[in-house]
Structure 1
Amino acid sequence: MPSPTPEPPAELSSLAQLPLFKRLLARLLGGGLSRLRAQHVASWLQGQADGFRSGHGAGVEYGYNEGRLDGLEEGRQVLLIRDTRPQEHRAPGVDDNLFDDWRLPLTAELKKRIKADVARLLPAQAQPSAAQWKMIFSDTPSTAVIAGAGAGKSTSLVLRILLLTHYLGFELDAMTVVTFTRESRKDFMAKLVEVMGLWGHVLSPREAREVVRTFHSRILPMVRSLPGFGQLQAFENLSERGLFADEGADSNPFDLRINDAQRQQLNACYHRLHSDNPRFREVLVPLYKQALQLRELDQDHPDVRKRMAVTELASKRDEELCDTLEDLWFRAGAWPIPGIEPDREVIEINGSPFHCHGYIPELEAWVVLGFDPRENPQISRPGAKLTVRAEWAVKRTLFQAFCRKPLIWLESYESAKCVLSSLAGDATAGPGFDYKVKGELASAPLLDCFVMAAGFIENLGLDVSAAVARMSFAQDDPDRFFFEALSLFWKALEAHLLAQSPPIMTYNRMFSLFGENTPENQALLSDELLRPLSHLMIDEFQDVSPQIVSWLRASLREIRRRGPAMQVGRAARHSSLLCVGDDWQSIYGWRGSSPKYFMEFSKQFPSPGTTRVMLSDNYRSHQHIIDAAEHIVRAAPAIAGKKAKASGEPKALWPVNVLDRDDAGLAKRLEEHYRRGESILMLFRKSSDKSLINEYISSVVNVDSSLPAEQRRLRQLTYHSAKGLQADVVFLLGDCLHLTRSPYKNQVYRMAGLGDDGDAEAYDNAQKDEILRLAYVGITRAVKHCYWYLDGPEAQAGNGPKASDRIAGDKAYFADLRVKP
């Protein structure tokens, strides 16, 4: 550092520092000289002092800077220490990827060789497009393939397996292709065996079955590997023939039908719980009451308005009608009923008296006997103009519209027996009554309702009891008691099933045992059980549920955790995930599936590298079919950038014909196409529509059903079950409607993190989008022609949203032939 500036020499010091005599003399001389204007010594001396200081300071500063630079340069030649540490402390980041950072070893030469082999061994129509090659050659740990309807994804998946096995040497037991149903699995296995054979690999049916699986057939061996569960059976696989191991593991996961073997277990559990748990018995009472009560009718209903005119007349003959009905019930041995007090209580309907037949104290409800459908419908009272059945129908309508007392209407002798069993506490055959949860389209046996509600909750990755504890309902809402009963029953059922010999478990519980909430169970699995999940290829990924996603993520995380030791001595190392799907074909939200996991693929399956492939070519339909279907569905949220184009041989363009419901006209058109030798799909929304239309197309049905299976050209299916199929001509019968509001599903949807933040009706809003996707699926089954028959407004149930609202009559790809009002 520079030294302080020194004082000037003594001779240049200020006058104030001189002795007194000299100061006086200097002042005299200085004053004289100053008057003579010759000089001013003080100023001269002061200037000399200032000049000295200034020059000294500048010299020192210059010298200091020069010396400092020389010193720094000399120091650099020895050591430079620079502090590059961050000013704030930061901890290491978290690697949350499900995969190692690796790539498939695909060189340009290898790709060229594979393309040449495919061109030589596969027919021209099976040659992959540029986008399909991108899917086949994806070298990143994760790959999302957006494959629209008719995109030819199956062949691409088979070639992907061929790449991994034949060209890269990956072992087959390190990979799994997942399909959703037994039918799709069978088709894919046949294609895999055929293509592998062209490359000289003779794949046995057993080897193909090991590779091509359903989720269910992969989880079952995992649970069986745990101590004490070696003979475990899946509840969904039970059959009337007894327990069987794997045959049902490939069944349709969306099939909700309950068979007799399953019902036997449900009933046995119900009987024990009903006997042992007083609270369970208590919460069933309001369910009995709600289920057995007469359904209300709006007073503006046409039947009500018509029968109101005869209210007074019906009242006058009501006691005689009661006598007649009680006689019929007595002769059938169905009356009186223990637990029901005979009581002709008078109920006033529009000022006119009518009568009940009895009272149930336990339910605090009145009972009216109905006309059993097995009785002769022509029975009449003496002198009456109407039959007993008709008189009873009038009374029933009036009670539905104007009676607000708790009322149970026993429709038949059989329903009375069920009530009798329930009231007597005889639950060996189950509850014996149907129930309708708010939001469901129809009532069902109570235990069936339990299974459906529990399945929906568990598919969302939630525990039934925990989810029920977070629900809330109005004080007088019977669903409040339904879900409390469900919570009690489901816990008892799981214990009951595990207590069987061999033990039984639902698939949902199996998946939850190995989900993200229980990683310790994953650690119990052997390498041999986990290795097939190393390289996963999943079809129809848009239909995956949160429950399955949790299991997949947990499995992939465990595979990565085990590291290279799991794959010692093997060509297939690390892990990968390739998912193929189409969010526009996600139509199983009512079972708990969601397209969210495909639409947010990179977020849901974090990876150091993800390849995104868009398969836009449609090899099935012509452009009018594609454009009409996309116009319908485009109002729903979707992956950005989707637009399919017709590929392959040029096809004639036919618009989607939209017509008023006309079963006779439909039958005529169908017969014409069948005579031309074309394949036909008849798709309906309601099973009742199939029965109605069969009356008109019975001749074609009879001819077609007499042919060998491979020659049949007519199939009749629901919209949902037609996914994956195609036909020259498609007939759509009925609209895609959102008819109900489901309070409980809205609640659990939010619990599962589905839907937008703050959306109180997340499930219902998702269903409004799903009806558009369902129409898209129906239309895109068509190769050439699509006819859409819609009911008129008077036949529509409610005023909710419907897919047909999106029909655009001004577009060339629609021909709206409906009669305008």
Structure 2
Amino acid sequence: MPQHTPDLPPELRPLAEMPLLKRLAARFFGHGLTRLRAQHRASWLHGQADGFRSGHSAGVDYGYKEGKAEGLEEGRQVLLIRDSRSTEHRPPNVDHNLFDDWRLPLSADLKKRMKADVARLLPPHAQPSAAQWKMIFSDTPSTSVIAGAGAGKSTTLVLRILLLTHYLGFELSSMTVVTFTRESRKDFINKLIELFGVWGRALSLKEARDLVRTFHSRILPMVRSLPGFERLQAFENLSNRAQNGDEEVDSNPFDLRINDAQRQQLNACFHSLHTRDERFRELIKPLSRHALQLKELERDHPDVQKRVAVTELAAKRDEELCDTIEDLWFRAGAWPIKGIEPNRQAFDINGATFHCHGYIPTLDAWVVLGFDPRENPQVCRPNAKLTVRAEWAVKRTLFQAFCRKPLIWLDSYESSKRVLASLAGDASAGPGFDYKVKGELGSAPLLDCFVAAAGFIENLGLDVPSAVGQMSFAKDDPDRYFFEALSLFWRALEDHLLDQKPPVMTYNRMFALFSEHSPENLKLLSDELLRPLSHLMIDEFQDVSPQIVSWIRASLAEIRSRGPAMHVGRGAQRSSLLCVGDDWQSIYGWRGSSPAYFMEFNKEFPSPSTTKVMLSDNFRSHQHIIDAAEHIVRAAPSIAGKKAKASGEPKALLPVNVMDRDDQGMAQRLIQHYRQGDSILMLYRKSSDKLLIEQHIQSVVNVDSNLPYESRRIKQLTYHSAKGLQADAVFLLGDCQHLTSSPYKNQVYRMAGLGKTGDNEPYDNAQKDEILRLAYVGITRAVSHCYWYVDGQDTQAANMPKASDRIGKDKPFFADHRQGQKLA
């Protein structure tokens, strides 16, 4: 215990506190007085004080020890109750997991038995790697498999299905394998039947088809189970030709073409809405005028600079030119046009007088008749040096550059018929004009534009009228009218389709019916309809859309909520999700897909435990092909830690050859590879490029097309269509470039929560990453040889990013033969 010196007068304080000299004197005199047996009062008091202190200290020590012992003994007899209750109210946590906390019952003996069977039944080159076995034997409720190009994921996925059915006794009816396209589905079904046969199990084509599905073929039976929708048809599958049952529920989600049966429904809806809705009619007018109006040309455009010098000469002959063209239209029965007043009006064009042919009061627009392309291009006016077609081209250019009045230029007799129908209020054939939404590469019929824009919005999991209501456009932006018209049209179309006998619905509407926004609808489904989604395996998961993700999550949540009662008496219990993909191969962002759900798999599909597998072996290409493709794509955000390595049979390391566009040289090299017996993929960005090249390679194309399909060695496809394919030699024609900016897609991307926080152009920035992934897909189709022919610099897109900007200088995996690079 600590000691405390009591407060004492100076004469009674300890010697130790006295000055040194006094201490020495006190000790000297004190010693002498002691020998004389003399008593000094102060010394006696000092002694008394010292005794008090030492006695007090000893007493405290003794008392403390005794008291502690007694207190402990007594304490053993006392029950001490403390109030540990929290004053804060806290409710239980919410379990957001989509799965129960369970594991596949995979014993060591079972794994050993399957490995032994695989070693015995499959050839050496088909034996799974350690990473592939990790995917096959994943026992957690959720599994994400990052499988790069050529990783052998299909065979691994089939072995996973074999594990569940053959070794664990799961019923086929408890699982679904999802592929994205008809072609990939067909290939996977064949592989599945073949491998099951090796294990001595006959799998019928029907069983395989029921197991391997597209998302579309899973959602349609769900909707058809609802009262009144038993014979429901999908709008995307409408056709005038007879279909068998399987084709009816199996479509290509990336096919945007509209067929005659679909157009018939679109036109009928447009006609009905145009007739009864005044606001819709008002919106179509400015769209029609904008679409038909002659597009402006900048005054410094080369064509303008070339033709402005002959302005006065062109003005002198203009009335005669008007007469000649009017006569041609009259003879063709295309003039006059009802709804167009045939009044000639004079215009001042760059200080000279020119004329138009008529006026449309309903559109407040002037009309100029053009030279129909079906007329003889050599037709001339009497004594004229130029053809009528050439004179018309000069006039058109001058009007584009210097006319600022609303002007409709009718290029052909055919286009006039559409305008005539539109002006006559005959909307049964549709609007009758094309439109170009800002950000799209080209114009298309108005209703096709409606379908494309609505599809994009809905793929992002958004409702079209609600999304349009949140958009903003400049007052004079025609897209403002387009999207308001779309909002009215889309709601009317959905009602119109449901009124058909049998009813019709878009796939997007079907998925929305059973999404997280309407989980109560899932309660209406039977166990039999939900059970196939219990153990879900999805290939090409990087191409999934927000709409599909919402449906998957809602379905898995409903399966979990039904609990064990859903699986009584069955080998397959509970639920699981296994997704295979490669974020570097996500190339369908223009349709509303996003790799974000795969990259953030754990967050998007909450699970008690997840297995992550990285399949980094590439069994297709040699290392130079792999390194070149990865060098380009690595600038895009991706899952961390990806690096593929060439596996299997060693191949010669040949660089990716990058060359200037040379159609003749490309054709010669392609023919050379064909004659050597190589398989060939020619991939192009524009269909016009395919036609140009075909002129040079027609000889081998003709030979190849006479062979049975399986034996053909030349395939000509777009970059996007080539995914999943491979060839000995790959010819890439054209760069991968982001050419436009899409204001509306940026807006709906933000609404869908895609892109980085604060990014005002999330869609455009996502597309800049996607062009790199598209180049990666193209290059990684190659087994041995890859040739990339890049166009010269396009002045209109000079500042837009392109994949070839990422070609590595002085890298052994690139050989850059471009003239510009040599000069540099």
- With normalisation by structure 1, the TM-score equals 0.92
Equivalent AA in structure 1 for residue 483 of structure 2: F
Shift of 1:666: 0.9
Separation of aligned partners in 2, 1:811 and 1:344: 66
Shift of 1:110: 1.8
Distance 1:245 1:496, change over 3 A: farther
Name the SS of the counterpart of 1:787 in structure 2: strand
Q: Does 1:521 align with 2:521?
A: yes
Q: Does 1:621 align with 2:621?
A: yes
8 A Cα contact 1:233 1:243, kept in partner? no
Equivalent AA in structure 2 for residue 550 of structure 1: S
Q: 224-233 or 108-117, which moves further after superposition?
A: 108-117
Shift of 1:94: 1.5
Separation of aligned partners in 2, 1:479 and 1:718: 30
Separation of aligned partners in 2, 1:142 and 1:275: 53
Shift of 1:64: 8.0
Shift of 1:242: 5.8
Shift of 1:71: 4.5
Q: Does 1:367 align with 2:367?
A: yes
Paired residues for 1:317-716 under 5 Å: 317-716=317-716
Equivalent AA in structure 2 for residue 226 of structure 1: L
Shift of 1:628: 0.7
Shift of 1:583: 0.4
Name the SS of the counterpart of 1:776 in structure 2: helix
8 A Cα contact 1:100 1:608, kept in partner? yes
Equivalent AA in structure 2 for residue 747 of structure 1: Q
Paired residues for 1:166-177 under 5 Å: 166-177=166-177
Distance 1:98 1:251, change over 3 A: same
Could you give the per-residue CA deviations for residues 234-267 of structure 1, whole angstroms, max 9, x where no partner exists?
1111111267754143221011011000111111
Equivalent AA in structure 1 for residue 569 of structure 2: G
Name the SS of the counterpart of 2:427 in structure 1: coil
Separation of aligned partners in 1, 2:91 and 2:302: 73
Equivalent in the alignment of 1:15 = none
8 A Cα contact 1:658 1:816, kept in partner? yes
Separation of aligned partners in 1, 2:299 and 2:666: 36
8 A Cα contact 1:188 1:212, kept in partner? yes
Q: 466-475 or 62-71, which moves further after superposition?
A: 62-71
8 A Cα contact 1:233 1:245, kept in partner? no
Distance 1:356 1:58, change over 3 A: farther
Distance 1:787 1:796, change over 3 A: farther
Equivalent AA in structure 1 for residue 659 of structure 2: L
Distance 1:319 1:174, change over 3 A: same
Equivalent in the alignment of 2:24 = none
Equivalent AA in structure 2 for residue 517 of structure 1: H
Distance 1:564 1:394, change over 3 A: same
Equivalent in the alignment of 2:241 = 241
Shift of 1:796: 6.5
Equivalent in the alignment of 1:803 = 803
Equivalent in the alignment of 1:268 = 268
Distance 1:612 1:794, change over 3 A: closer
Name the SS of the counterpart of 2:778 in structure 1: helix
8 A Cα contact 1:237 1:243, kept in partner? no
Shift of 1:48: 10
Equivalent in the alignment of 2:232 = 232
Shift of 1:520: 0.3
Equivalent AA in structure 1 for residue 564 of structure 2: P
Could you give the per-residue CA deviations for residues 465-505 of structure 1, whole angstroms, max 9, x where no partner exists?
00000000000000000000000000000000011111110
Separation of aligned partners in 1, 2:755 and 2:409: 41
8 A Cα contact 1:583 1:599, kept in partner? yes
Equivalent in the alignment of 2:144 = 144
Equivalent in the alignment of 1:201 = 201
Could you give the per-residue CA deviations for residues 358-380 of structure 1, whole angstroms, max 9, x where no partner exists?
11121111111001111111111
Separation of aligned partners in 1, 2:78 and 2:225: 67
8 A Cα contact 1:237 1:245, kept in partner? no
Equivalent in the alignment of 2:814 = 814
Shift of 1:794: 4.7
Shift of 1:59: 6.6
8 A Cα contact 1:704 1:714, kept in partner? yes
Could you give the per-residue CA deviations for residues 323-369 of structure 1, whole angstroms, max 9, x where no partner exists?
11111111111111121122222222221111111111211111110
Distance 1:792 1:635, change over 3 A: same
Separation of aligned partners in 1, 2:235 and 2:89: 54
Q: Does 1:113 align with 2:113?
A: yes
Distance 1:605 1:55, change over 3 A: same
Could you give the per-residue CA deviations for residues 687-720 of structure 1, whole angstroms, max 9, x where no partner exists?
1111111111111111111111111110100000
Distance 1:694 1:81, change over 3 A: same
Name the SS of the counterpart of 2:683 in structure 1: strand
Could you give the per-residue CA deviations for residues 44-64 of structure 1, whole angstroms, max 9, x where no partner exists?
99x999999998999799758
Equivalent in the alignment of 2:133 = 133
Shift of 1:69: 5.2
Name the SS of the counterpart of 1:354 in structure 2: strand
Separation of aligned partners in 2, 1:384 and 1:268: 48
Q: 241-250 or 462-471, which moves further after superposition?
A: 241-250
Aligned length: 785
Distance 1:569 1:680, change over 3 A: same
Shift of 1:799: 2.9
Separation of aligned partners in 2, 1:735 and 1:49: 103
Separation of aligned partners in 1, 2:242 and 2:432: 24
Q: 589-598 or 98-107, which moves further after superposition?
A: 98-107
Could you give the per-residue CA deviations for residues 248-297 of structure 1, whole angstroms, max 9, x where no partner exists?
43221011011000111111111100001000000011100110011122
Shift of 1:70: 3.3
Equivalent in the alignment of 2:164 = 164
Separation of aligned partners in 1, 2:244 and 2:468: 33
CA-atom RMSD in angstroms: 2.3
Separation of aligned partners in 2, 1:313 and 1:775: 51
Equivalent in the alignment of 1:290 = 290
Separation of aligned partners in 1, 2:53 and 2:625: 98
Could you give the per-residue CA deviations for residues 728-762 of structure 1, whole angstroms, max 9, x where no partner exists?
11111111111100000000000000000010000
Equivalent in the alignment of 1:774 = 774
Separation of aligned partners in 1, 2:423 and 2:73: 103
Percent identity, aligned pairs only, is 80
Equivalent AA in structure 2 for residue 750 of structure 1: R
Distance 1:212 1:49, change over 3 A: same
Distance 1:50 1:665, change over 3 A: closer
Equivalent in the alignment of 1:98 = 98
Shift of 1:301: 2.0
Separation of aligned partners in 1, 2:568 and 2:292: 65
Separation of aligned partners in 2, 1:227 and 1:68: 83
Shift of 1:82: 4.8
